[in-house]
A and B are shown apart, each in its own frame.
Chain A
Amino acid sequence: MDTVKLVIDNKQIEVPKGTSILNAARANGIYIPSLCYLNLNHLHIENKPGSCRVCVVEVEKRRNLAPACATECLEGMVVKTNSLRVLNARRTVVELLLSDHPADCLLCPKSGKCELQDLAAEMGIRHITFKGEQSSYRKDESPSIIRDVDKCVMCRRCETMCNQVQTVGALSAVNRGFGAVVAPAFEQDLIKSPCTYCGQCVAVCPTGALTEVDNTTKLIRDLADPTKTVIVQTAPAVRVALGEEFGMPAGTIVTGKLATALRQIGFKYVFDTDFAADLTIMEEGTELLQRLGKYLNGDKTVKLPIMTSCCPAWVNFFEHNFPDLRDIPSTARSPQQMFGPIAKNYFAKKIGVDRKDLIVVSIMPCLAKKYECGRDEFKVNGDPDVNYSLSTRELAHLIKQFNIDFKKLPDSDFDAPLGESTGAAVIFGATGGVIEAACRTAYELFTGKKLEKIDFNELRGLENVRQATLDFNGTPIKIGIAHGLGNARKLLEMVREGKCDFQAIEIMACPGGCIGGGGQPLHHGNSEIIKARFNATYEEDKNKPIRKSHENPYIIQLYKEFLGEPCGELSHHLLHTTYFDKSQLDITIE
């Protein structure tokens, strides 16, 4: 590899050609503060618009200061990262940012985790020399995401996620000069944009400009209400990431502590969305087999590939962008939305609680789940099947509020009956997991044989788009997998053009799947964290006594006691849904 030699702060350094000054310095233990820069190495994307100017450094023989993030190291370069000229400039730039930033840190949801706050603290800024007008925008509160644009520092990270990675195109810079800000087109609210609520923007925002809708206050009130029975379901990806919020290494599995913490918080029943994931496999797997069977029998009206529908951001994405293909995804609801009706129609009766008094809360790695709870299809007479959803981050915050020493908690189990799950459900949290779980069941149901090798390693991995052909006892089943909506778009376009011979496709909106969800502890683009969560997911699966959904005894019991058969009439009513064409945006221009 070609390298270049340069001097940074009197230190001789040799780096590969093409390395930026910032990365060269950091790799050699020289700290240069930055703000807009974000290396999303798990996506092979660097957000480096060079816009904040915090990382400016002095390069000898250069007229002006250079942004370290965007300036490539050249042979013989002499760089100073801490000269007086640099320190003055950097400090002034941060002061300028603060001069147009609300100083409401006490009330800011990002307080304590805000990169701008950290910078100000680090530089010891006690006074703003250049005071003046402050930007003032309308706060936009969507069902999942809150945009407080007054706090936007134009780092453009959200734009990179929304446009480059997710190809959603909901957020981009608008207006000019002092009024420049990142917003949906025509400065509409998010709800009127093609936003999928995947939350990847929130996950990268350095300030409080983009945050999730916080339901912790609502939850505490409900828990304190003696007339209400508050129960909780928690998603598979939460247990492999929550520990990070408490200083545990990425990939620590905290399932038992999680159950204990939820119980200590005061939930009457602590359940597992994994149970609903097993249920999803029963429904979705059956649907796959029905469609596949008809197709193999020559029925041309059957649409293939079938696509998974567990991810609400993905559902939003195709409703906005590919409404013409909306008969292709499975009609099975997501696990969260399967859990809700089972809890409110089956479990509520079991414990003799009226539906209206049962509060179903979900803990999700996801922000789109908040929006999903509020969809009209998932309400009965206005009462949502799942009342509301909290992100992994909100839960961590809640645990801290309850003064629970999470690391020292003993393990405990989820409650029965909606707390029992299989290894198949666990892997729902990672890209490729849903389709693998489906195949474990579909194989046995399709071939009538026992699946000897449970691990479909060919379906696993973190590559953007993957494909594999499985052998269902002589029938080849071609599977496609994409994670990240930009990759999903590529597959969808192939389907639309008829260039796709997959029988089944799994799509998850967030890079890495739910483990990289918009509601997870912030990973700052560190691919090692994603990998650790990924490995932990499969580790958890491996350790489960039952690893196929259709073998979950409580699922079998549920069908026997309540539902009848998969894709039966009651299932259709409670566990399946329909999709809408949302390609026409309701835009009002003032």
Chain B
Amino acid sequence: MAKIKSLADLRNMKSDLQAKIKLRENANNPESMVQIKVGMATSGIASGAKEVFNYLSEELAKRDIDAVVTQTGDMGYSYAEPTIEVTLPGKEPIVFGYVNIAKADEIIEKYIKNGELVEGIIPVNYRKVE
């Protein structure tokens, strides 16, 4: 990796990265690009987030769904671990809690494929700082 040599470089890199992410989001096939984040802090992993992460990665590929599955930190809903956040193209991200393998399957089949909401939604209950 090249070193970042100045603040200007850092800012350029930031906008490049943001553009890249946008590009990824609005790729040639914006309809099919799905982003999933799996909460994988210690509490998530202890509740099975790793299995869910692997399952989602494998199954989405198997089922021919163009998706990016990434790990992320603690979303804060310890009572509902594992938690995942699913962002369908052009839609608000939705967080699902209590996601086991069966739930993950349901989310793929109903929400990701058909946009049907399923039970287990955790409404965002905090203000963000942007």
Chains A, B in direct contact (C-beta < 8 Å): no
